[in-house]
A = this chain, B = another copy of it.
Amino acid sequence: MTDLINLQGKLDFENLTKNIVKRLEWLGSFAKDPEGGITRLLYSQQWTDTQQALKCWMETEGLDVKFDEVGNLSGILKGVNQTETVLTGSHIDTVKNGGLYDGQYGIVAGILALIYLKEHYGTPKCNLEVVSLAEEEGSRFPYCFWGSKNIAGSAYKKDVENLADSNGVIFSEAMSEAGFNFRNETKSPRKDLKVFVEVHVEQGNVLETEKKSVGIVKGIVGQRRFTIEVNGEANHAGTTPMGYRKDAVYAASHMIYETLNMAKQYGDPLVATAGRIDISPNIANVVPGKAAFTLDLRHNDKNTISHFTERFTEKIKDISREHGVETTIEKWLDTDPVPMDPQVTGLIEKKCKEKKVSYKVMHSGAGHDAQIFAPFIPTAMLFVPSEKGISHSPAEYTAPEDLAEGVKALIGTLYELAYK
């Protein structure tokens, strides 16, 4: 491994930058997708190859290594007191044709942080553990956070065992083929964990736009998703006067326009997105009889989400009446905002100030493993910038200097948590 971690005695901040990039590329090489980017779906051969490679690297660096029952891989730097553990890490799975940073950056950052701390400060007061979480994206089976939920004790065999992937392979078969089995749910979850810190790419363009290297996440947004279905009357586009129409697209456009206007008026951090539209019959010369669109709504305050929901629902009903169409609003996703631990985020902010890392306290608009840990143990998250906010794409990119600043902030944080 010395070609990758060229220590020249010790890992220092100077050689950190190039080591991170090399290590991410090395890790990505185990799951290259011929169609672009990397594809590393839960329990696939690419997944197994990568976890094995990581295990080998962790061992070489002198960490104690273990898989748990479901395939989460841990590298442990043992502390004086081995009954308590400071945990870092992120997920190893990717979406199809994903990028080099989402998930695996948090694992590489964690390993490099442990190497640095061990070399500079020796044995920590408690265990320091980096985890390569089995799954977060929900890209192979329709289930998210499989890795972190198993550690937090909120994953259940009955919820996943019969799920099938797009090739018809059943979850339990895929798991068993990869050499794993379900966690014994009668056993209580791990009691040694005292804190979890995750490092991740932002997947947005806030840090880039505001020219900050690190984001300190104060909370993960709550989300609601709706499908709004507008039923009008399909008619001939030439022979139906405007006044006799029940045009579903006219009504839906009006609804989308007014709802997004309202979202802008609410101001940050509220975001609303009409990401999907389905029209019927979707022919140029037919007045559309049906239009369905989705609305994805996020904010870090539950009351604001509820208030906005009430207001946009009223607005849509008014517009529906105005256009003489029938409209239904179906909510199909509803998750509460998850605050991060203020003590741990305060500590991170203090370290960033000390180390002169440029940072921004912000919320996360995307879901992360940290939201599974947060109700269970004190949890914090660090972001690094994503160029143009691009994520879930081979074009995902974070500048090496920013990747290094993220590790620097993580090192400072873990030092405070495990050595002081």
Give the interface of A toward B (CB within 8 A): 202-206, 209, 221, 223, 225, 233, 235-244, 247, 249-250, 252-254, 256-257, 260, 263-264, 268-277, 279, 282-288, 294, 296, 298, 364-367, 386, 388-392
Chain B residues with CB below 8 A from A388, complex form: 233
B268 touches A287 (CB 8 A): no
Is there contact, CB below 8 Å, between B202 and A239? yes
Other-chain residue from B209, B270, B273, B283 in contact with A247 (beta carbon distance below 8 A): B273
Given contacts A253-B257, A253-B274, A277-B249, contact A366 B242 (CB under 8 A): no
Selected from B221, B282, B294, the residue in CB contact (under 8 A) with A276 is B282
Say whether, besides A244-B206, A256-B249, A271 and B364 are in contact (CB < 8 Å).
no
Q: What is the distance, in angstroms, from A220's C-beta to the closest C-beta of chain B? A: 9
Are B206 and A236 interface neighbours, CB within 8 A? Answer: no
Q: Which residues of B contact A365 (CB under 8 A)?
A: 236-240
Find the residue from A264, A275, A294, A386 having the highest chain B CB count within 10 A: A275
- Residue with the greatest number of chain B CB neighbours at <10 A, chosen from A236, A270, A294: A236
- CB contact between A238 and one of B233, B243, B271, B294 (< 8 Å): that residue: B271
B243, B252, B275: the one within 8 Å of A285 (CB): B275
State A390–B236 Cα separation when bound (angstroms): 7
Q: Which residue of B lies closest to A238 (CB)?
A: B365
Query: Please, which residue of chain B has its CB at the minimum distance from the CB of A319?
Result: B257
The 8 closest A-B pairs by CB, nearest first: A204-B239, A238-B365, A237-B273, A239-B365, A253-B256, A284-B294, A253-B253, A253-B257
Report Cα–Cα, A294/B249, bound state, in Å: 11
Whether the Cβ atoms of B276 and A279 lie closer than 8 Å is yes
Instruction: List 21 A-B pairs, Cβ < 8 Å.
Output: A225-B284, A235-B389, A237-B271, A237-B273, A238-B298, A239-B386, A239-B391, A241-B268, A242-B264, A247-B273, A250-B256, A253-B253, A253-B260, A254-B257, A257-B257, A273-B287, A275-B279, A275-B285, A275-B288, A276-B282, A284-B296
A241 touches B271 (CB 8 A): yes
CB distance from A371 to the nearest CB of B (A): 12
Q: Is the CB of B285 within 8 A of A236?
A: no
A209 contacts B298, CB within 8 Å? no
Contact B286 A268 (CB under 8 A): no
Q: Which residues of chain B come closer than 8 Å to A247, judged between CB atoms?
A: 260, 273
Contacts of A203 in B (CB 8 A): 236, 238-239
In the assembly, what is the distance between CA of A240 and CA of B284, in Å? 32
Q: By the criterion CB–CB under 8 Å, are B256 and A242 in contact? A: no
CB <8 Å contact, B273 and A239:
no
CB distance from A316 to the nearest CB of B (A): 13
Which partner residue on chain B sits nearest A267 by CB separation?
A: B242
Given contacts A247-B260, A260-B247, contact A241 B206 (CB under 8 A): yes
**Distance (whole angstroms) from the CB of A221 to the closest CB of chain B:** 6
Residues of B within 8 A of A273 (CB): 237, 247, 284-287
A389/B236 in contact, CB under 8 A? yes
- Asked whether A389 lies within 8 Å of B240 as measured between CB atoms, the reply is yes
Complex Cα distance, B299 from A241, in Å, reads 11
- Which residue of the partner chain, among B221, B269, B276, contacts A283 with CB atoms under 8 Å? B276
Q: Which B residues are in CB contact (< 8 Å) with A270?
A: 242
Please pick, from B252, B272, B274, B364, the residue contacting A239 in the complex, using a CB distance under 8 A.
B364
Q: How far is the CB of A338 from chain B (nearest CB, A)?
A: 13
Asked whether, in the complex, the Cβ of B240 is within 8 Å of the Cβ of A271, the reply is yes
Contact B250–A274 (Cβ < 8 Å): yes
- Tell me, rounded to whole Å, the shortest Cβ–Cβ distance linking A126 to chain B: 33
Write the nearest CB–CB distance from A284 to chain B, whole angstroms. Answer: 4
